[in-house]
Each structure stands twice: as C-alpha cells, then as structure tokens.
C-alpha cells in the first residue's frame, strides 16, 4: 500500500483544515512547507466564495505562509466559469462578498438590480431582509437561482457560522424554487481542480474536514480521501453517513508525520 506522501497531487480544503478564522491550525504550516519543499502539485480548494485568490494569498501571508495565487480555487471562480459556459454576458443579482463579485466581473457579467438572468448567492456578513425580498422577486420573475456551495454551516474561531445553503434557504422556500449549487461535492468544481493541478485522479489526494462536501466529493470523483478532525465533522458523526473516508487523521500534518 502506497504512503499518502507518495501522491503527486493534493487538493486541500482550507477552513477547518488549515485555519479557523485568522488562526492557523496546528500542523498547517508544517504541511504547507512540506508541499513546497517536495515540489508537489497542490491546490487549496474552498467552498467559501467570500475571498478572491489574491485575498487568500494575502491572508496566508499575514499568517506567515507564502503561497502564489495560482494555488487557490474557490467556489466563486467555479460559479463564474459555470455561468460563463451557460450564459455568457448574463446579468446577475449577487448576494455575496468581494470574492464572488470579482469572479463574476472577471468573466464579463454585469450586476443588475432590475431584471437579472440569475440570482447568485454566496457567503456574506452583510445579508439582510431587503436582499432576500429582491432575490425572491427576481426568481419569481424567471431568474435562475444559483448557490456557490451547499454548505449549511462553516467553522470560525468563535464556533459554527451559517454558510451559503442556510442563507439561500429563505429564497428557496418563499419562491418555491430549488437552487443549483456549484461547489463541492458538485463534480464540476472537482474537474476544475484536477485540470488545474494536471494530475490524474489516482495520483491525487483530497483532504477535508467535512463528510458532506469534501469526502463525498472525493468519493464521487474517484479520488482517495482524507478526513481531518480539526473542523466540522467529528469522529462520532461518522455513523450518520452511508460512506466512509479512506483515511481519518487528527490533523493535516499527520499525512507527513506518518510517512
């Protein structure tokens, strides 16, 4: 049986795996240093749509880790790419942060508060009732409802916080429409990730803290999976799921410590 360190490519979640809020998780720096020293192909793939790759690079830099922007992929980027394939130049109404807005702008979409073709929802700390009202009205008029990711909650330094699916639910319920979600475990974002690191599935490892997004994404994409217990899913939660990760580790650095 091959060691986890024998893989050529590593797709790694961030929130709950490498950091909580602005605080690095134990072993995160050690793992990233190893990826760079061994010249591994790696991608930090997050379901969060709030920050752009430039902002994520700066965030890591502020925590003492230097990584190029090309090593980051977000659900915002995947959402913008999906919409560009579906409806180039469409008008969008956005509930989200700068990372999502920038990704959509970069793909040529215009923000429309009157008659959008799509309502796109991501994580945001400025969510309000007026935005919900507008979104419901647009969806009832025919706009398609898109969620950047299906996460109900996310980790933070203070504990669990609501994520995209929790924020989009009032719109779904009031408009009687189901959103289409782009982020993990949607195979769309996994195909983007594999293409970006230029590795075959059998050469790749996916590392995450959530059974319902990271691990199922790996299983459905036929990529070997590692669940780390530093984020959302606890060991006692595993009985709730009809599938299992290939490996369960206390933290991400255990991948190299076990070598």
| % helix, strand, coil for the chain, step of 5 | 40, 20, 40
Instruction: Write the CATH number for 219.
Output: 3.40.50.1000
Q: Quick: pLDDT tens for 164-191.
A: 999 999 999 999 999 999 999 999 999 9
Which of these is catalytic: 6, 15, 33, 70?
15
Domain boundary among 154, 181, 208: 181
Same domain, yes or no: 177 and 86: yes
192 assigned to some structural domain = yes
Same domain, yes or no: 173 and 103: yes
124 assigned to some structural domain = yes
212 catalytic per annotation:
no
Q: How many CB atoms lie within 10 A of CB 98?
A: 15
161 assigned to some structural domain = yes
63 assigned to some structural domain = no
Same domain, yes or no: 177 and 103: yes
Contact in structure between 16 and 210 (CB atoms under 8 Å):
yes
Same domain, yes or no: 214 and 235: yes
Pairing status of strand 19-20 against strand 23-24: antiparallel
Pairing status of strand 159-162 against strand 153-156: antiparallel
Alpha-helix runs per DSSP H in 25-154: 28-37, 53-62, 75-86, 98-106, 129-140
Q: 259 pLDDT band (50/70/90 cuts)? A: low
Same domain, yes or no: 131 and 161: yes
138 assigned to some structural domain = yes
Per-residue CA distances from 8 to 15, 41, 54, 114, 140 (Å): 23, 6, 25, 48, 47
| Residue 250, domain extent | 4-47+184-257
Average pLDDT over residues 118-123: 97
What DSSP state is assigned to residue 176?
Answer: T
Domain boundary among 166, 181, 196: 181
Same domain, yes or no: 20 and 112: no
Q: How many domains does the chain have?
A: 2
Domain boundary among 181, 208, 240: 181
Which of these is catalytic: 13, 209, 212, 214?
13
Q: 210 pLDDT band (50/70/90 cuts)? A: very high
Q: 95 pLDDT band (50/70/90 cuts)? A: very high
User: What's the whole-model pTM score?
Assistant: 0.91
In this prediction, residue 190 carries a pLDDT of: 94
62 assigned to some structural domain = no
64 assigned to some structural domain = no
């Amino acid at each position: 049986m091959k060691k986890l360190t024998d893989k050529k490519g590593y797709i790694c979640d961030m929130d709950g795996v490498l950091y909580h809020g602005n605080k690095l998780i134990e072993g995160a720096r050690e793992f990233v240093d190893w990826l760079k020293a061994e010249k591994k192909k790696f991608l930090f793939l997050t379901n969060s749509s709030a920050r752009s790759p430039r902002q994520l690079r700066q965030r890591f830099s502020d925590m003492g880790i230097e990584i190029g922007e090309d090593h980051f992929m977000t659900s915002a980027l995947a959402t913008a790419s999906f919409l560009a394939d579906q409806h180039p130049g469409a008008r969008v109404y956005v509930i989200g942060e700068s990372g999502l807005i920038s990704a959509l702008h970069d793909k040529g979409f215009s923000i429309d508060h009157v008659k959008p073709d799509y309502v796109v929802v991501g994580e945001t700390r400025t969510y309000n009732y007026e935005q919900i009202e507008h979104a419901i009205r647009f969806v009832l008029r025919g706009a398609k409802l898109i969620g950047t990711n299906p996460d109900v909650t996310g980790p933070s330094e203070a504990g669990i916080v609501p994520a995209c699916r929790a924020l989009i639910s009032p719109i779904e319920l009031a408009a009687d429409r189901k959103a289409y979600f782009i982020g993990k475990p949607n195979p769309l974002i996994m195909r983007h990730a594999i293409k970006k690191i230029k590795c075959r599935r059998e050469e790749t490892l996916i590392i995450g803290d959530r059974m319902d997004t990271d691990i199922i994404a790996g299983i459905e994409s036929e990529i070997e999976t590692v669940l780390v217990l530093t984020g959302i899913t606890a060991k006692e939660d595993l009985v709730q799921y009809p599938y299992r990760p290939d490996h369960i580790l206390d933290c991400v650095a255990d991948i190299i410590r076990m070598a």
